[in-house]
Amino acid sequence: MKKIALLMAVSTSIVSFGQSPKEKGMNYPQTPKGETVDVYFDTKVSDPYRWLEDDKSTETAAWVKKENKVTYDYLDKIPFRNALKIRLEKLWNYEKISAPFKEGNFIYYYKNNGLQNQSVLYRKDGKGKEAVFLDPNTFSKLGTTSLGGVDFSKDGSKVAYSISEGGSDWRKVMVMDVDNFKILEDTLVDVKFSGISWRGNEGFYYSSYDKPKGSELSAKTDQHKLYYHKLGTAQKDDLVIFGADLKRRYVNGGVTEDNHYLVISAANSTYGNELYIQDLTKPNSRIVCIVDNFNSDNGVIDNEGEKLFIETDLNAPNKHIVSVEVNNPKPENWKDVIPETEHVLTVSTGSGFIFANYMKDAVSIVKQYDYSGKLVREIQLPGLGTVSGFGGKAAEKTLYYSFTNYTTPGTIYSFEPKSGKSAVYQKPEVDFKSEDYVSTQVFYTSKDGTKIPMIITHKKGLKLNGKNPTILYGYGGFNISLTPSFGISNAVWMENGGIYAVANLRGGGEYGKKWHDAGTKMQKQNVFDDFIAAAEYLIAQKYTSSDFLAIRGGSNGGLLVGATMTQRPDLMKVALPAVGVMDMLRYHTFTSGAGWAFDYGTSADNKEMFEYLKSYSPVQNVKAGVHYPATMVTTGDHDDRVVPAHSFKFAAELQEKQTESNPVLIRIDINAGHGAGKSVAATIQENVDIQAFALYNMGFTELPK
């Protein structure tokens, strides 16, 4: 759910623009209103579109079909929409290859020839002969079934892989022999929010919920369980390892590389987890608790024999690495290996080293340590941007990492941990001249005086005349950091003279736990204020103006857009909320939504929390007689993360109450979910439609020549 210059100077291009197209008589479908009223702490709240929450009803299906017809009829008349698609397809059409990894006797890697709907998993044998291993493009005719997690047995002779159908979070798991491609047993079904982790070659661990009553796409799923599946046995006989008696919303288990320990994480929300460990070398050994509360994030990153290495933010908001003996693993016995610094830490391990990836103002700094905590070197990176990787098995001699920023397509580097030498492993050949663009980081002031970073990217030589089409993107939640990365659709936007600006709002993880906490629960308004201040900065500095500004965000970022456009509808010309959490009074009643309560709180908590949520909840804050910006809501009919009812209800409210001529559309992808696994064709078309809608409503009738 993350990210996504029409240069107005007539000396460089001729562009038709003016007032926004007048959309007289937008003929929206009639959305019947019900009489549902909920009572929260003696306050009555009407919910007239409650019926749209029933994703299985024929009435909802008919409404979706009618809304999509209105939307696509509108998009079809945009004169430059096809030209955008041609350019985006051309730019997208380059070979993409992942970093390789070794399993058993083969080297594996993902590759996409350019416009394949799904990337293909390839392998090479000891002689360097390449072959297709798994091709998800063959899983379904429409490219809507995607490959999820892939995990190999200890000796690499078997693989368990998951697939998602129609973008759903529910998965199926297959087990295959890697030599003869034979499926070894019946498919495991109804697996959700799960990794796959083998115990030797005999079986593997996975997680899921009991299948809910009612719709599997919207019914609440609240008790996660960790299972062990022994190869050759029926799924109904899988052992529940954790979660049967102790109710937790998120439970996951993984086996250490030496197959000595099972590490279990259990949580009730998106922040804070209990940590457990089990000795797999001793039959029927008990599960031992390491952390018995939800006050910190904790994870075992590796072990050396009976010594565990743990990444944690306990007593260290920016995280540190500690070690502890497994026979006495409680936090009071933890010892610092890599102490906390002023910068937020994420960690990977490989080749017998620890790699500390620090984030300084949303940009990566990487340091290599040995397991005693001794600094080996600071790694010289290709530039300022986002680095990920450096992970691998202890015996690997070469590791890999990727580097990207807003003007640099993701490039993979090989790295020799002993010498510190880096070399380009795979550089994509993209039809984009990075040297013609510039990214600038600025710090602007939010409503309460807090300094917020934002990176602004555009063509060199941009004129600050207030007339540059601009997309302002944000997220601001769940400790997620928006770091610089190249996006093909953003490249097309900037080629056409547009500005792409990303604000690092509170609620994210850019400055650690305090930054995250400052955008949660009763401080959530800080996030919206930060976003509003970003828009005001761009306008005040004449990068753009309200007539040429679009705001965009997905999931929690969809909430961000919905709240911002209902609080300050005058600030932007276009609003683009995607798969957003729009009904803050009811989000916790769907699928796993209750787990988001650390960030949001719930309407059931207390009267004060209910009133706070109601004060910004987008669905409840659409008002009649207000001139809202041109809006295109996007969602998927199989989104079981943020159910599409959020977007349905928000769009219905806007269509009923919008004044003047700005259109309110909802674009509903069929057989699509929250975003993961979406086909390349569907992704391209969605981005084409978003950019076409934005430019058209900024007054453009053609693209620059």
List residues bridging with 113 in a β-sheet.
Answer: none
How far is it, in rounded angstroms, from Cα 653 to Cα 150? Answer: 42
Instruction: Kindly give the residue spans of alpha helices, DSSP state H, lying in 184-262.
Output: none
Identify the CA nearest to 438 among candidates 455, 420, 450: 455
Angle between helical axes of 680-697 and 488-495 (0-180°, round to 10): 30
Check if 229 is active-site.
Answer: no
Strands (E), 361-398: 363-369, 375-378, 386-389
Identified catalytic residue from 162, 647, 674, 679: 674
Q: What is the dihedral of CA 118, 667, 622, 575, to 10 degrees?
A: 70
Phi, psi of 383 (to 5 degrees): 170, -165
Identify the CA nearest to 673 among candidates 632, 641, 634: 641
Which 8-state DSSP code applies to residue 699?
T
Give 76: exposed, middle or buried? Use CB within 10 Å, 0-12, 13-18, 19+. exposed
Secondary structure in 3-state letters for 589-623: HCCCHHHHHHHHCCCCCCHHHHHHHHHHCHHHHCC
Which H or E element spans position 69?
A: helix 58-76
Instruction: Supply 309's token pair.
Output: 């290495």
- Look at residue 87 and give its three-state secondary structure: helix
Distances (CA, A) of 394 to 152, 258, 308: 16, 10, 15
Q: Transcribe 292-349 into DSSP letters.
A: -SSSS-EEEEEEETTEEEEEE-TT-TT-EEEEEETTS-SGGG-EEEE---SSEEEEEE
Question: Do the Cβ atoms of 53 and 614 come closer than 8 Å?
Answer: no
Using the Cα atoms of residue 283, residue 286, residue 291 and residue 293 in order, give the sign of their dihedral.
positive
How far is it, in rounded angstroms, from Cα 197 to Cα 395? Answer: 19
**How many alpha carbons fall within 13 Å on the CB side of residue 216?**
17
Which 8-state DSSP code applies to residue 276?
E
Match 């044998």 to its residue by tokens: 125
Give me the numbers of helices (H) and strands (E) for the chain, helices first please.
10, 39
Cα 554 off chain centre by: 8
Identified catalytic residue from 164, 555, 647, 679: 555
Phi, psi of 278 (to 5 degrees): -135, 135
Check if 555 is active-site.
Answer: yes
Question: Do the Cβ atoms of 474 and 510 come closer than 8 Å?
Answer: no
Active site residues: 555, 674
